[in-house]
Chains A and B, each alone.
Chain A
Amino acid sequence: MAAPPGWPYSPDGRFWWDGAAWQPVPTPPGTPAQQGLTAAPPPRPATGHPSAASPGPQTPGPQTPGAQAAQPYAVQQTPPYAPPGTGVPPPAPSDAGPRPRRAGTAVFVLVTVGTLIAALALGGVAGGAVGLATTEPVTDAPAPSFPGRFPTGRQRYLPKVTITMVAVNWLQAANSWSCARSAASDPLTGAKMGMICRPGDAARLHMSVYIWYDGPDKVLSVKARCDLGARSKACTSLFSMMADTLLSPDRTLRGQAEAWAGKNADKAAVTAIGGVRLETSPRPHSMEAVPAI
């Protein structure tokens, strides 16, 4: 049976599809059966109407038995071609189409990712190199901050103690002592000036108060000495009054300091009250006040 125009042919050109089965293409007289193979084979239809998928003159193929015969003609779907007698199923038509598209997408993704990684690496290297080349290392950093108890120059002086408070108001005015200044500095405290005060009576040979200072309100040290013997009331009174005077700016602490000095006048003791360090000594019998650290 001759194939009507528009129906699909098998790849070898020997069969055509009639909508239900492969039909052999009759060989024209004088033409070998394999002649159709020399022509371009018809494209294998994937889906849809066979006439649209493989137009033009084609050669028929054999009829496929079984399920293809049950397929309704209206569907017009060409089954996979298999030469009669081979029994080898053809590859699924759906596998043939997407393969080139997937490969193209993968290449695109690879190129894009590679480009981004290269840009990232190049940018990082270039930026880092510029940063290192254009920025100077620190050659002289600021000095570290000082801890809270780091000794400072402000601690050199007895807090709120003045020359007037000690020499004038306490010793000269209240007790009729006399004071003499000395331009010599004190090697121990480093004070620039000194002042020595003594009683106006016979006790002047046994009692004295040394004041070391840098200025009228910069008193570094006050030291009272009393050589009237241990447990002398005069010595105890001297030390107590000295403690009371030095802490006089603080009404609460002055009593505490006076009491401590009276209690420890004949001992070797040390305490710190209100920023003033008081230290008593029996030999030589004395009490000294310096700033507490």
Chain B
Amino acid sequence: MAIAAVVFLLAGVGAYAVASNVRKQDTKYCGHDCVPGLEIGTVVEALQGQGHTCADKRRFWSCELRIGKVRFEADLFRAVNVADFYEYISKVEARIINPDSTTAAAGLDYMSWFATLPHRDDPPTVKKVGGWLAEQIAGDGDIAFILDWEYALERNANTRSIELTMKRRH
């Protein structure tokens, strides 16, 4: 009986540790419309910490940084259609205005940071998204579907800009 009690306790403690750890790593599910477990405010504060200027436009937060002629802009849209998840990100539009050959590396790092937000705990998917982005930034742009997220990279000659749109795939 004593051995059975010890086994019971050890199994209980072990299972508790595993379940608790799994629970902590789990991000709060927010339907089909947002980046789970990451509030807009947290992302905005992180960008402000990098020197970006952000403003609340009600439907979305807009952050930008200008370096010389190059402008890095990101609009973080709220999940207005999902109750209790208003302050979560449903869509991201990240654009670089006036990019050139010398801004390619910074542009890729800028866009990949936003593009990998939903997959931040999934290194293989992060790598996959980064590879697709690098290919599209060097090329003409395309659309891809990666793990329920839709990615579209568009190059606009008139506005001399490239824009990434990331949203949940329905």
Contacts and interface: CB of A to CB of B under 8 A. Distances in A.
Interface of A: 115-116, 118-132, 134-144, 146-156, 188-190, 220-221, 270, 272, 277, 290-293
A153 B51 contact: yes
A227 B8 CA distance: 88
Report whether over half of chain B's contact residues are helix, strand or loop; otherwise say mixed: helix
B92 to A, nearest CB: 13
B145 interface: no
B27 interface: yes
Contact of A115 (B4, B10, B106): B4
Contact of B7 (A116, A140, A189): A116
B102 interface: yes
B5 interface: yes
A126 B11 CA distance: 9
26 contacts: A116-B4, A120-B7, A122-B8, A123-B10, A127-B12, A127-B14, A130-B19, A131-B20, A131-B22, A132-B23, A135-B24, A138-B27, A143-B43, A143-B46, A146-B109, A146-B113, A149-B105, A150-B113, A151-B109, A153-B50, A155-B67, A188-B66, A188-B69, A189-B66, A290-B67, A291-B68
Contacts of B69: 188-189, 290
A139 B26 CA distance: 9
A152 B51 contact: yes
Given A115-B4, A120-B8, A150-B50, A137 B15 contact: no
Interface stretch (B34-42, B136-144, B153-161, B162-170): B34-42
